[in-house]
Amino acid sequence: MDTRITQEARHFIEGLTRFVRDECIPAEDAIEETGSLPEPLIARMKDLGLFGLRIPAAYGGSGMNLLDYCYALKELSKSHDDIRARMSINNGIGSMAIVNDGTADQKNHYLPLLASGASIAAFALTEPGAGSDASAIATTAIKTAGGWVLNGMKHFITNAPIADIFTVIAVTDKEKRARGGISAFLVEKGTPGLSIGALHNTMGGKGWLQAEVIFDDCFIPETGLLGPVGGGFKIAMKTLNEGRLSAAASAIGIGERLLSMGIGYAKLRTQFGKPIAEFEAIQWMLADSATELFAADRMLADTAFRFDCGEDIRTHSSMTKLFATEAAFRVADRVLQVHGGMGFMRETKVERMFRDIRAYRIFEGTSEIQRFMIARDLLKD
């Protein structure tokens, strides 16, 4: 099985490596301090086409296959995670439902805006009463003349305060729920009845901007229905399948950067008259980290390749997300340990990456939910 990225993607990723090194990493401290991305950096991201890598070329994107995209995302994830977060929602959970299930009008209108970065996307599924059990959502969409009326509240929604277009999942039939009673809608910023609630104060990823999204008699015209009535749960799950692989790709990218920081520090730091890299305890932490990242990387390539070949990757994407995000967290912990007290200090950046990587075991489905889904597939008749 040939799971290599295309030559075209290889060249693009080489350019990304330079972008990360020369423009993103120097901006990291400012991003961390302010929780916002500098405008010139956003302009460069637009120039590089980063907001539309996964969006088909017919709508102004690059139309990358999932394998190439995951490796581009992995490279960009070696910079501050706020940069990764800003581009990945437009390419992933914020646009994929439109790409997969949108009408011609929806695609023609929204996808060019998302691909260019002129519009920012958000995906609104989670609610205070419905996290892992997404089928328990309480936000309703009631049919009315010419459209639908949404009521309810979402929370933890990334990009919410800056988003122009929300993919919203709501109940349209309380009896059927996940079996044909949940539908997807496209809701634009500024729609009467849509408001952004409190911004969550988070442990990491200050610039990811998670907030509440409130619907109060929010009227959505018929043209805002995304996919068939009752098809929303399937749409959300399909979107998350791909999203899980993106989470894995980013986690591996962060892990690889951490490992190179750990190697650099171990060679430089001297104790007991020699570099700490000469101590077996340190070597084993680095060796275990490299081994786990290699395994995660191969799982990523295999699963993305299967997707591009048209396979159903439900279980593989859960396994890859589970392993990659847990492995990357172990890498972050070891690399922090390799740095000793310096690892705890803000100036090394390890502590920031340690905080940011922690969220990866939670969003796009927790590790426990990934295990639950893998086991359910193993045990089915």
Contact partners, residue 336, CB within 8 Å, separation at least 6: 343, 344, 350, 351, 354
Q: Shortest Cβ distance from residue 246 to ligand FAD (Å)?
A: 12
Distances (CA, A) of 350 to 86, 98, 179, 267, 333: 21, 37, 44, 16, 9
Residues 258-317 that bind ligand FAD (CB under 6 A): none
121 binds ligand FAD (CB under 6 A): no
131 binds ligand FAD (CB under 6 A): yes
Residue in 52, 111, 48, 56 with CA at minimum distance from that of residue 79: 48
Annotated active-site residue 364? The verdict is yes
Stretch that binds ligand FAD, among 51-59, 153-161, 212-220, 223-231 (CB under 6 A): 153-161
Q: What are phi and psi of 120, to 5 degrees?
A: -110, 140
Q: Which of 126, 167, 183, 317 binds ligand FAD (CB under 6 A)?
A: 126
Q: Which of 8, 14, 222, 368 binds ligand FAD (CB under 6 A)?
A: 368
Stretch that binds ligand FAD, among 10-18, 120-128, 298-306, 328-336 (CB under 6 A): 120-128
124 binds ligand FAD (CB under 6 A): yes
- Rounded to whole angstroms, how far apart are CA atoms 76 and 19? 8
Q: Is the dihedral of CA 291, 295, 300, 302 positive or negative?
A: positive
Residue in 17, 153, 172 with CA at minimum distance from that of residue 79: 17
12 binds ligand FAD (CB under 6 A): no
Residue in 181, 174, 165, 194 with CA at minimum distance from that of residue 228: 181
Q: Which of 77, 139, 158, 241 binds ligand FAD (CB under 6 A)?
A: 158
Residues 21-50 that bind ligand FAD (CB under 6 A): none
Stretch that binds ligand FAD, among 28-36, 40-48, 117-125, 215-223 (CB under 6 A): 117-125
Q: Which of 210, 303, 320, 325 binds ligand FAD (CB under 6 A)?
A: 210
Stretch that binds ligand FAD, among 39-47, 122-130, 263-271, 323-331 (CB under 6 A): 122-130
Choice among 33, 175, 364, 368 that is catalytic: 364
- Rounded to whole angstroms, how far apart are CA atoms 369 and 212? 23
Number of residues in contact with ligand FAD under rule CB under 6 A: 20
Helices (H), 125-224: none
Q: Shortest Cβ distance from residue 372 to ligand FAD (Å)?
A: 5
CB 206 within 8 A of CB 32: yes
Query: What DSSP letter does each residue of 219-230 carry, written as one string?
Result: EEEGGGEESSTT
Would you give the binding string for ligand FAD spanning residues 342-361, x where CB under 6 A is met? Answer: -----------------x--
Residue in 66, 70, 115 with CA at minimum distance from that of residue 94: 115
Q: Shortest Cβ distance from residue 351 to ligand FAD (Å)?
A: 17
219 binds ligand FAD (CB under 6 A): no
Query: What DSSP letter does each residue of 33-49 carry, written as one string?
Result: HHSS--HHHHHHHHHTT
Q: Shortest Cβ distance from residue 115 to ligand FAD (Å)?
A: 19
Which residues contribute to the site for ligand FAD (CB under 6 A)? 123-126, 131-132, 156-158, 205, 208, 210, 359, 362-363, 365-366, 368-369, 372
By annotation, the residues acting in catalysis are 364
